[in-house]
């Protein structure tokens, strides 16, 4: 059984992602990154991403992690805070600790593509 199936599929992922974004938007360190963004669309993409990454039938329709986060100035502390909110949202949804650890093993390696430091020359020139 995939992680996707073990946690309850799309319905469970939607609950987790809703909780995650509630926490992110309420977090003064993180909410500036989402000002003016269509959070509903972001949530949908996030559900797709997790659905695909966790072995579900979904197909992620968004850009690469590197491309969609490029130039946003995301630091490791921001990434870590989102990861904390994700773990809390998973726990609140009743996901067992062992499964949360499996999900973290999928998500944490994405830091290299999300955290700033891999900006394009155009982004640097614009600053």
pLDDT of residue 9: 95
Per-residue pLDDT of the chain (127 residues; tens, 9 = 90+): 999 999 999 999 999 999 999 999 999 999 999 989 999 999 999 999 999 999 999 999 999 999 999 989 999 999 999 999 999 999 999 999 999 999 999 999 999 999 985 444 333 333 3
Which domains does the chain show, CATH number per domain? Answer: 3-126 (1.10.490.10)
pTM for the whole structure? 0.86
Using a 10 angstrom Cβ sphere, with 0-12 exposed, 13-18 middle and 19 or more buried, the burial of residue 71 is: middle
Report the candidate in 111, 14, 114, 108 with the shortest Cα–Cα distance to residue 56: 14
Distance CA 14, CA 48 (A): 10
Task: Specify the pLDDT at position 101.
Answer: 96
Q: Mark 72-100 as b/e (b = at least 16 C-beta within 10 Å).
A: eebeeebbebbeebbbebbeebebeeeeb
């Amino acid at each position: 059984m995939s992680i996707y199936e073990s946690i309850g599929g799309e319905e469970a992922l939607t609950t987790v992602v809703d909780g995650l974004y509630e926490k992110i938007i309420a977090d003064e360190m993180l909410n500036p990154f989402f000002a003016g963004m269509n959070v509903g669309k972001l949530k949908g993409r996030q559900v797709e991403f997790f659905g695909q990454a966790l072995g579900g039938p979904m197909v992620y329709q968004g850009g690469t992690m590197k491309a969609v986060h490029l130039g946003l100035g995301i630091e490791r502390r921001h990434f870590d805070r989102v990861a904390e909110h994700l773990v809390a949202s998973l726990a609140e949804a009743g996901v067992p600790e062992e499964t949360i650890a499996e999900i973290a093993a999928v998500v944490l390696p994405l830091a290299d593509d999300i955290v700033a430091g891999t900006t394009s020359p155009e982004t640097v020139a614009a600053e």
